Structure 1
């Protein structure tokens, strides 16, 4: 089962595991990112970062095993590195995680991004993915940690022409 959904460009780090696990208990983490899952060194680094049962999968592998994840009594965080991957899992693949809130954490400043808050900047393409997620029934909230939420997607969508 999925107990928490997060988009975080660092994927797995102490804040994700320690702070968010207080709000949303979890037994393990599922990070979905093709590049990380295809790099043995990076994959092992992520797997050893949390102290919890951790999987680092490609999007295709996630698609193949997603029903097992839902049926599992184990509570997992589902994490992607960017909004595009999350949109692919939840909208394009049609994965139904059993919850409708997505927390967007760090999205570093990069060329071509619009800054929404501290360490939270997105591109037009990522904004479209967040719009698609919202249109599919998900609530998207920007929060590095729960106490520091800067708001939900409707507050920011006008900056991207929606």
Structure 2
């Protein structure tokens, strides 16, 4: 199994991802996918410095080109994006065939136009549409900053967005 954990986190890669979630799910490396971060050498360096594990920061196109290599890898990676729109593109549009069908949603900050679901977990209609696309493709979506503090799954919140 090449992917052991899928997460959406507006911070992408940080200490909590590496230390806390790695205790819950096996992990030898991290793959952060974000076009802006991948093009910023300073951010790439900071993300790599947040972990002693193999860490990659790719744009979406690079991920698409290397998806089969990731799936064939003997290593176990966390797959992380900054937002649900990017994750839906990877999982649904790119048809990434991971056996992991659970997406854990971490911090999503309060912003204008976002609906607050819980503490530090607010999403926009565009993000909700991406969650719905993943949900319709068979993914379970759970909102949890940390494992023991889940505020629920997408089923609980989708009605707020017209689904």
Q: Do they superpose with TM above 0.5? A: yes
Tell me which residue corresponds to 1:120: 121
Q: Which stretches in structure 2 are left out of the alignment for 5+ residues?
A: none
Could you tell me the TM-score, scaled by structure 1's length?
Answer: 0.99
Task: Report the secondary structure of 1:115's partner residue.
Answer: strand
Tell me which residue corresponds to 1:109: 110
Count residues with an aligned counterpart.
162
Q: CA deviation at 1:90?
A: 0.4
CA RMSD in angstroms comes to 0.6
Q: CA deviation at 1:70?
A: 0.5
Tell me which residue corresponds to 1:4: 5
1:13-162 aligned at under 5 Å gives the runs 13-162=14-163
Q: Which stretches in structure 1 are left out of the alignment for 5+ residues?
A: none
Q: CA deviation at 1:51?
A: 1.5
Per-residue CA deviation, residues 17-53 of structure 1 (Å, 9 max, x unaligned), is 1111111010000000000001111111111111111
Are the aligned partners of 2:18 and 2:50 in contact in 1 as well (CA < 8 Å)?
Answer: no
Q: CA deviation at 1:67?
A: 0.4
Q: Whole-Å Cα distance in 1 between the matches of residues 112 and 52 of structure 2?
A: 34
Per-residue CA deviation, residues 102-141 of structure 1 (Å, 9 max, x unaligned), is 0000001111100000000000000000000000000000
Are the aligned partners of 2:37 and 2:44 in contact in 1 as well (CA < 8 Å)?
Answer: yes
Runs of 4+ in structure 1 over 2 Å off: none
Q: Whole-Å Cα distance in 2 between the matches of residues 46 and 112 of structure 1?
A: 29
